[in-house]
Structure formats: structure tokens, C-alpha cells
């Protein structure tokens, strides 16, 4: 708690940092702390964070349920990609749902979700990264998705 004060933004950052570093228990502990806080869009935020954690653990069934829940909550309420009142966004929810669809042998669904992700992710560095990855992979879906995941989405929330 000395390193990570109890603000929502810091808790989200610490959950993500621990998840990226595969310290799943520590990441889960921060998500649990976030779950006990009161803030707008809590359900969407917690579902998203738990979904990303499940995805990183390889639990794609639960990841899909949680990420789909957060996506539906975001789309049905007011369209905010922000995780509660924090600077962190969840635009990559479409990407991770695309990865799961691809793993479930649903390439068309994966492609559609991926196109939605591309339309939402407007960061100029991503545009450059995507163009380079597209050229390097020749557009091969599995390779392209893996390149974007390892080189962009895992570390850019």
C-alpha cells in the first residue's frame, strides 16, 4: 500500500503491471481491492480487469464471459471506454474478444471484432505499429494478432 496508494488509477495500474509480469496473485489482489471500492462503472471495470487476468492465465472461457460482459455494459450504458474515473481505457476489449474468437475457430467473428478494435484504437503510435505489423505478417490473421498482442495490446491499456 505504500507503493500503491488507494486511488483507483493506481490500483488499476498495479493490477495491470502485475498481470503483465505474470504475477497473477498480486494482480488478483489489486482487482479484489478495486472490487471493494465504490465508483461509477464499477461492474464494467471489474469485469474487464478480471477478464484480462483470466485471459493471461489461459482461462479463455471465463475471459470471454467477463470481457463480453464488460463490452456489453460499456455499449449499453453510454459508450465510455474509461475504466471508472481513471485515465485507463478498455478499447482493447474488442481485440481480446477477437483473439478468443480466433482460438474458438471463428475466424469471421475474429476478423469483425478486430476491425472494430482498429476503428476504436486511434493512437498514432498504434497506427504506425499496425501498418508495420501488417507488412511483416502479410496479413496472416494468427500471426498478425499475436504480433499486435505481444507488441501493443499487452502493454497499452
Percent of the chain with pLDDT over 70: 96
User: pLDDT band at residue 3, thresholds of 50, 70 and 90?
Assistant: low
CB atoms within 10 A of CB 139: 10
**pLDDT tens digits, 61-120:** 999 999 999 999 999 867 789 999 999 999 999 999 999 999 999 999 999 999 999 999
SS3 content of the chain, % helix, strand, coil (to 5): 70, 0, 30
CA separation for the pair 59, 45 (Å, rounded) = 19
Say whether pLDDT at 2 is over 70: no
Q: How far is CA 142 from CA 37, 64, 115, 147, 148, in A?
A: 38, 18, 14, 9, 10
pLDDT score of 115: 94
Say whether pLDDT at 157 is over 90: no
**Residue bearing the bigger pLDDT, 46 or 4:** 46
Amino acid at each position: 500500500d505504500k507503493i500503491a496508494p488507494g486511488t483507483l488509477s493506481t490500483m488499476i495500474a498495479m493490477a495491470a503491471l502485475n498481470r503483465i509480469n505474470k504475477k497473477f496473485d498480486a494482480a488478483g489482489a489489486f482487482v479484489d481491492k478495486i472490487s471493494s471500492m465504490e465508483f461509477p462503472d464499477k461492474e464494467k471495470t471489474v469485469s474487464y480487469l478480471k477478464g484480462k487476468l483470466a485471459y493471461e492465465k489461459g482461462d479463455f472461457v471465463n475471459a470471454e464471459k467477463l470481457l463480453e460482459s464488460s463490452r456489453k455494459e460499456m455499449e449499453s450504458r453510454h459508450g465510455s471506454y474509461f475504466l471508472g474515473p481513471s485515465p485507463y481505457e478498455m478499447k482493447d476489449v474488442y481485440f481480446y474478444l477477437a483473439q478468443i474468437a480466433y482460438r474458438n475457430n471463428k475466424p469471421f467473428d475474429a476478423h469483425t471484432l478486430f476491425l472494430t478494435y482498429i476503428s476504436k484504437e486511434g493512437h498514432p503510435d498504434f497506427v504506425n505499429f499496425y501498418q508495420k505489423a501488417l507488412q511483416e505478417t502479410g496479413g496472416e490473421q494468427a500471426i498478425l494478432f499475436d504480433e499486435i498482442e505481444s507488441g501493443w495490446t499487452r502493454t497499452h491499456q
